[in-house]
Structure 1
Amino acid sequence: MNPFKIIEDLINEHGSATIRGERLLLLKDELTIVEKERADLYKKCSDLEKEVIELRDKLAKASIPPEFTEYQGALFKRDAAGSYSPIAYCPECKRPLFNTEPKIFPYSCSTRGCGYNVNIHEDLQSIANKLTDGKR
């Protein structure tokens, strides 16, 4: 066995281990940076999702004409005197909703192709009175 070969192999192995150690430290540093960026992006994404929800709510409220008020998923119309009528309207097409048996069936839109349905759990007259009196 060549003694120089053994020493040469030992030097090579030691040098490779040092280089590997340096590379591992570099990778750990890069991993720390990537993990921080990931956490920042996750927070930013979460904040943007909340903002989208808020903007959608604002848009939905802005799309309701001023003479209507939304209550329990339906719209109720206010007249010039400020009173509300006991008629529920569709928030999609602003047409009256109908129902043959409110305690059993949901209110449905009368517009062909709309298909909007909503369960209203109160009497329409009591809702109109609440809205008129401002007791939502």
Structure 2
Amino acid sequence: MPFWGWVARRYSLRFLMRTGFLMTSLVTTAVFIFAGSPTIAVTLLILAALGATMLDGSGHVLFLRAVRPSERTEMAGVYQTYRDAANLAVPGIFAVLLKFFSLPVVFAGGAVWMMAAAVTSKHIPKRM
């Protein structure tokens, strides 16, 4: 039994996602602060990746629970379009940031985005 699945069943998917977003945001903020020290920054990035693993599988579960089983086939295309757009938008935003700022600003931008997602995740229904 995967650990994060157990946490989601024990506490709630909303708790798992909020914790993942908060952890990733706070640790990525620390990467921004310690960008001048590569050893610390790499260690913090590994911790941020641990927070991101909480989000990796749980995002799909929200989609599966929100859509009726009879509608999943039709909605899978909509969901895939959303994922494709997200896969293009994030590197595009970071490219714009890198055009005008140094690399640590990308970590600050990612941290702000993750914090916004953490705040938004409080609206996930408790039943999920």
TM-score (norm 1): 0.24
Higher helix share: 2
TM-score (norm 2): 0.25
Larger Cα-atom Rg = 1
Higher strand share: 1
